[in-house]
Amino acid sequence: MQTKGIWLAGVLVVLFLAAVPDTSRGITVPDTVILNTQSKLYEPFTFNHAKHIQLTKECSNCHHHTTGTLVQDPNCVRCHRNSSETQEVSCKGCHQTDSFSATAMHEKDPKTYHKDKPSLKAAMHRNCLGCHENMKGPMGCQDCHQRTKEGDAFYYSGAYAPKNKPSKGEHNGH
């Protein structure tokens, strides 16, 4: 009954990222970011931002909101073709941690195109995993964040793995 964000829910994203690497706005780009600080099932971990910048080169590969090159997504282009860079670039600036709570659901503005906005957890997972898959990056859960003891219990894994019981009532699963 941990209602909010069993894991990753309270991700602390301190992604203050400049629009372009030349720090035109005078904001420094963090080299590392601590993610997943409030999850119970997985440990917090350090995200090597600098390394990812090196690998991807292009900020807009991960950040939308016209950070870096202009938006390319045809669905966004319809409105944001000429939008200027936004103030807010951090993920958690827009993506909520509790997108299915009653308040979050009521806040959704039916008139905008952003109704189907994923939660912070989903946005990060989809962004990271989607890219990792294409770039042959690590894909396993524990490749990024180590599971806690509570997480082991939750998944009946590790020390909490089920003892190999003879599966009685063998026909039950038909």
Partner 1 sequence: MKRRDFLKGCLIGGAAASLGAPSKSWAVGSFEGYPDAMGVLVDTTRCIGCRSCEAACNKEQKLPEPDVPFDDTSVFEEKRRTTEKAYTVVNRYETNDGQKPPYRKMQCNHCNEPGCLTSCFVNAYTKTKEGAVIYNGNVCVGCKTCMVACPFNIPAYSYSSAFDPLIKKCIFCYHTRLKFGKPPACVEICPQEALTFGLRSDLIKMGHERIRETPDRYIDHIYGEKEMGGTSWLYLSRVPDDQIGLDTTLGNEPVISNVKDFLGMVPMVLTIWPALFSGIHLLATRNKDHGDEHHNHSEQEDGKK
Partner 2 sequence: MKKLIASGAITVNSPQKSSDRKWTFMEKLFLGLTLPQYIGQALRNPFNWIIAIIFAVGIPIILGRFIFGLSWVTHSSNDYPWGLFLAFGLFGMVPLSSSGFLLGTACEVFGRHDLEPIERLGLLNGLLGYFFAVVFLLIDLGQPWRLPFPMVVSFGPAAVLFLVAWHVSTYLSVQIAEVSVSFFEWIGFPIGVRAIRKITLGLTVSGIILSTLHQGALGALFTYAPGKVHPLWYSSSFQWIHFFVSSIPGGLCMVITVSTIASKTMSWRFDQRFKDSLDRVTVSLAKGASMGLATYLTIKLMSIAHDNKWAYLTTGYGQWYLVEIMIGVIIPMTLFAYAIHHKKLPIIRFSALLVVLGIFLNRLNTALITFNWKLSEREIPHWREVAICVTVYTIYIVVYRFILYRLPIFYQWKTQEQYALAYAAKPETTILKDTEPALVFASKTEAKAFRNAETITS
Q: Would you tell me which residues interact with partner 1 (CB under 8 A)?
A: 1, 3, 5-8, 75, 99-102, 105, 115-116, 118-119, 121-122, 125-126, 129, 133, 141, 154-158, 160-162, 165, 167-169, 172-174
Concatenating the DSSP letter of every residue in 65-132 gives TT-SSPP--HHHHHHHTTPPPPS--SGGGTS-S-TTSHHHHHH--TTSSGGGPPPHHHHHHHHHHHHH
Binding segment toward partner 2, per CB under 8 A, in 99-107, 120-128, 131-139, 165-173: 165-173
| Residue 173 binds to partner 2 (criterion: CB under 8 A) | yes
Residue closer to partner 2, measured from CB, 111 or 171: 171
Classified as helix, coil or strand, 28 is coil
In the complex, the smallest distance separating the C-beta of residue 162 from partner 2, rounded to whole angstroms, is 20
| Residue 167 binds to partner 2 (criterion: CB under 8 A) | no
Q: Which of 161, 163, 165, 133 is nearest to 147 (CA)?
A: 161
